[in-house]
Amino acid sequence: MKRFLWILMATLAILLAPSKLLAQSGLCISHIFDQYGSDKGVTMVELSKDMLKTYKITLYKSISFKDVTNYLPAILKCLDDDKANNKARKIQEVIEDGSIISAYYQLPPITSKDKTPLKRYILYKLGAKNKATLVYIEGYLNSDKLMEILFQK
């Protein structure tokens, strides 16, 4: 009976959370969110579809570090891995003293439940006093529209 309940709960968890399973599928940065999202000095945000519908975004996840010093090697490694292994298109990258301080990449689209291609983006910013933010976005918007949203006043 316990085994049956365990299998039932695992099956329900899989069926009720398909977007989380597909989101960031195959991306190294997913480990950054999973591994460090609950650490002290780290803030992780995931917005609901209802909040994002206006912007044609289906998933928004960000993780911000008050002091990224201990996490920076893992983040930069994941950015490099995702650029190489997932054929991310570099939209913008700012390198200072040999290190990435700002990055904006577009990943190849994935197919949504309704067979529509979802565009995917990774954004990264290293700020003053070793603060950093990593963002993953999925949706139907193009890169120009995303830039417009990010820089609107």
Number of structural domains (the chain) is: 1
In a domain, 12, yes or no: no
Q: Evaluate whether residue 48 is within a structural domain.
A: yes
* 33: three-class secondary structure by DSSP: helix
Give, in order, the Cα–Cα distances in Å from 60 to each of 7, 24, 118: 30, 11, 13
Dihedral angle sign, alpha carbons of residues 92, 60, 73, 132: positive
User: Is 7 a domain residue?
Assistant: no
pTM: 0.79
43 in a structural domain: yes
**Which amino acid would we find at residue 31?**
H
For the chain, the straight-line distance linking the first and the last C-alpha, in angstroms and rounded, comes to 57
For 34, the domain range is 23-150
Average pLDDT, the chain: 81
Per-residue pLDDT reduced to its tens digit, 75-127: 999 999 999 887 888 999 999 999 899 999 999 998 878 888 899 999 999 99
Q: What is the CATH number of the domain that holds 137?
A: 3.40.1000
Helices within 17-71 (DSSP H only): 18-22, 29-36, 49-52
Instruction: Identify the DSSP state of 45.
Output: E
Say if residues 18 and 113 touch (Cβ distance below 8 Å).
yes
Please say whether the beta carbons of 139 and 52 come within 8 A.
yes
Structural domain contains residue 17: no
Q: Can you list the positions of beta strands (E) in the chain?
A: 42-47, 57-65, 89-96, 99-111, 117-126, 132-139
pLDDT in tens, 38-59: 999 999 999 877 778 778 888 9
Residue identified by tokens 């989380």 is: 20
Tokens of 59: 């998933």
At residue 24, the pLDDT reads 66
Which of 68, 67, 30, 27 is CA-nearest to residue 46?
30
